[in-house]
Structure 1
Amino acid sequence: MRNTLLPKSVTSDLKLQAEDNGKATLIVIWTLLVISGIFLGLRIYAKLWRGRHLWYDDHVLIMSWALMLSNVCVVTKMVTIGFGKHQVFVDHTAIPDMILLGQVSLTLTVTALSWSKTSFAITLLRVTQLWTKKVVWFIIISMNLLFFWTALVHWVRCLPVAATWNPFLSGKCWNYAVVVNFDILSNAYSSAMDFALSLLAWYTVKDLVMKRREKVAVIVSMSLGIL
């Protein structure tokens, strides 16, 4: 009987070629974008339907969602040039473009994340008093500054700047561990601020004149950022 089995090297290459996570990535990010857009749309509709005007927190949240839409479009473009495939099967001439788009995606993501948290903090400013209002302002300012620098370090870590996204261009760059550690710090601070904002929401809502059931509903909804 003739052996129809392929050599191990060929089988391995076929497996690597089949490792294309691009489509799965697109399905996930577009699905999440649509779901978040539906919730944002319902929020806006509910306010306008009740005759209320959109406030600063609504506008900041809308801008945050617009940035996420832009980010999804950028990632979609990345997939068309090979993002999600094994690096062996990616056209090496497309690598600089892919890295550049990746940095644009990172900047959009970090900014959108910062603005979405800022929107929630602005909402708290309407109900907080005295020292709690000062804490909220500190969170808004410190968080936006940190996220700004987080995005910036990915663009300025090399001289010339083009060397940050073009691995074929010689340049002098920081140790990448510095960038990674800065990202870790930013993520840790972001998580800490989620907890801080949720605790401030609990502290503020508990003193409002509301039915207990309504208080619980508000506290739970305002604490979803922890997730």
Structure 2
Amino acid sequence: MSSDSRTFYVDPERAAESNAAWLIAVVCVVWSLAFVTALVRFYTRAVVSRSFGRDDVFMVMAVLCGIGGLASWVVGCHNGYGNHIDTIPPTRFLTLIEAQFYQSIVEASFAFGFLKISIALSLLRLSRGSWYNRILWALIGFTCFYTIFAFITFLTYCKPIAGQWNPALRPKCYSRVTYRNFGLFNAACNIFTDISFATLPVPLIWSLQLQRRVRIYLIAILSGGYCAVGLGIARALFIIAYVHETDGTFYPWAPFFQALQLDIGIIAACAPTLRPLLGRALKLSTTLDPYRGANYYRAGKALDRLPLSGDTARRCRRQSAVSGHLVEMIRGDKQWDAANRRKGSVFTPIAVHAEHARVKGEASGESIEAETASTPNDPEMGGIVKTTEVRVDT
């Protein structure tokens, strides 16, 4: 008699109880939203703004790992997730444990690691400030550490590795309590980095001279990371209950919230990069005035070239640099090289705002004459922008 005959000895009503359908539905729907958001991000960066960068490369790797995690989740649901553990045939249960192992490797380890590194590299576009960069690079290093630690933990749970789902190999495994503690450490690290990446840009964005609508939009999108924090906390609570769980397959909350945490994280990380496509629909201009602020990024670069000194000049230069990088991130502008020229363009950024030029001149005691010319065309619609030509007499 095969081992599958075990199903004939259970209560038929208990065997008929299953959560598999809605577990698959919820995870697949949320993952579809995350996947579409990521695809739109890649299209925006690669085609619309032509600014595909290293943060996008890491996001691609996170999405690929997410696909692997989703496949493992579907296999798990078809082999026992959502069913009572005592109604699952032994062969299917072993397949479930193997799928759970691969989901932990590609999703709990690498997918989260690649996602956090992508977010950090995106935030590096916000500022040139050394303190801000150091914090982000420290978070990247910390993410690499606990990602590798989690990977090693999953690999060394049992010796040989296949013993995790094949007891016939008579594996040597460490205790469930130790395994639970490793899982809690990984969950805590993910929660900490989620909070850090969702909080760091908020005061910086609010202090910039941008439309209030733009600031609220960016803060609201970045605050989506707090949803991932909530899911991470829920996951950690069910990891704590893992040791005493006797029917963990009927409500597999820990891997369920893990999958949702990754999907929400991808959505929150990709949404700010969609500004070039959503800007018109949401009427999001990157500056306080659509004409005066059209060349804000170029203005910030040009101001850095003026020979200035004093506290006022330093504040002006810092504000311009921060705003320039923020505009670059949400509009998808290309990077500027050392010669202050746009890559792929022959334009030299000599246009600055008159009010900024006046502050610069007053700070250094120089004489500045400015001539302005403007057209009613919105630069974000492809028209001519209002600029100010500045001449500095020393």
Give the structure-1-normalised TM-score: 0.85
Supply the distance in 2 between the matched residues of 1:207 and 1:52 (Cα, whole angstroms).
28
More moved, 101-110 vs 142-151: 142-151
Partner of 1:64: 62
Partner of 1:101: 99
Supply the distance in 2 between the matched residues of 1:156 and 1:126 (Cα, whole angstroms).
38
Partner of 1:220: 220
Partner of 2:35: 37
Q: Report the alpha carbon displacement of residue 190 of structure 1 after superposing the two structures with TM.
A: 1.3
Equivalent position amino acid for 1:127 in 2: L
Equivalent position amino acid for 2:55 in 1: D
Equivalent position amino acid for 2:201 in 1: A
More moved, 114-123 vs 48-57: 48-57
Structure holding more helix per residue: 1
- Can you list the C-alpha shifts for 1:68-123, whole angstroms capped at 9, x where unaligned? 11211122223333333222232212333321211101111122122222211110
Partner of 2:203: 203
User: Is the contact made by 1:60 and 1:115 (CA closer than 8 Å) also made in structure 2?
Assistant: yes
For residue 11 of structure 2, give the secondary structure of its aligned residue in structure 1: helix
Supply the distance in 2 between the matched residues of 1:46 and 1:172 (Cα, whole angstroms).
50
Partner of 2:111: 112
User: Is the contact made by 1:65 and 1:112 (CA closer than 8 Å) also made in structure 2?
Assistant: yes
User: Is the contact made by 1:96 and 1:166 (CA closer than 8 Å) also made in structure 2?
Assistant: yes
Partner of 2:304: none
Q: Report the alpha carbon displacement of residue 135 of structure 1 after superposing the two structures with TM.
A: 0.9
Matched, 1:125 2:124: yes
Supply the distance in 2 between the matched residues of 1:141 and 1:155 (Cα, whole angstroms).
22
Aligned to 1:92, which of 82, 90, 93?
A: 90
Q: Percent identity?
A: 21
Matched, 1:79 2:77: yes
Supply the distance in 1 between the matched residues of 2:14 and 2:172 (Cα, whole angstroms).
33
Equivalent position amino acid for 2:159 in 1: L
Supply the distance in 2 between the matched residues of 1:54 and 1:165 (Cα, whole angstroms).
41
More moved, 168-177 vs 188-197: 168-177
User: Is the contact made by 2:68 and 2:107 (CA closer than 8 Å) also made in structure 1?
Assistant: no
After TM superposition, list the pairs within 5 Å mapping 1:124-143 onto structure 2: 124-128=123-127, 129-143=129-143
Supply the distance in 2 between the matched residues of 1:67 and 1:159 (Cα, whole angstroms).
25
Equivalent position amino acid for 1:134 in 2: R
Matched, 1:186 2:186: yes
Larger Rg: 2
User: Is the contact made by 2:73 and 2:103 (CA closer than 8 Å) also made in structure 1?
Assistant: yes
Equivalent position amino acid for 2:115 in 1: S
The structure-2 alpha-carbon separation of the partners of 1:50 and 1:162, relative to structure 1 and needing over 3 Å to count, comes to closer
Partner of 1:16: 14
Give the structure-2-normalised TM-score: 0.51
Q: Report the alpha carbon displacement of residue 23 of structure 1 after superposing the two structures with TM.
A: 1.9
Which consecutive unaligned segments of at least 5 residues does structure 1 have?
Answer: 1-9
User: Is the contact made by 2:159 and 2:171 (CA closer than 8 Å) also made in structure 1?
Assistant: yes
Supply the distance in 1 between the matched residues of 2:199 and 2:76 (Cα, whole angstroms).
39
**Backbone CA RMSD of aligned residues:** 2.2
Q: Report the alpha carbon displacement of residue 38 of structure 1 after superposing the two structures with TM.
A: 1.8
Supply the distance in 2 between the matched residues of 1:223 and 1:117 (Cα, whole angstroms).
15
Q: Report the alpha carbon displacement of residue 49 of structure 1 after superposing the two structures with TM.
A: 5.1
User: Is the contact made by 1:95 and 1:166 (CA closer than 8 Å) also made in structure 2?
Assistant: no
**Residues paired across the two proteins, number:** 217
Supply the distance in 2 between the matched residues of 1:79 and 1:50 (Cα, whole angstroms).
39
Supply the distance in 2 between the matched residues of 1:146 and 1:211 (Cα, whole angstroms).
38
Equivalent position amino acid for 2:91 in 1: T
The structure-2 alpha-carbon separation of the partners of 1:38 and 1:162, relative to structure 1 and needing over 3 Å to count, comes to closer
For residue 27 of structure 1, give the secondary structure of its aligned residue in structure 2: helix
Partner of 2:161: 161
Partner of 1:175: 175
- Can you list the C-alpha shifts for 1:30-85, whole angstroms capped at 9, x where unaligned? 11111111212232333345332311112211221121112111222233333332
Equivalent position amino acid for 1:113 in 2: F
Q: Report the alpha carbon displacement of residue 177 of structure 1 after superposing the two structures with TM.
A: 0.9
User: Is the contact made by 2:76 and 2:99 (CA closer than 8 Å) also made in structure 1?
Assistant: yes
User: Is the contact made by 2:163 and 2:169 (CA closer than 8 Å) also made in structure 1?
Assistant: yes
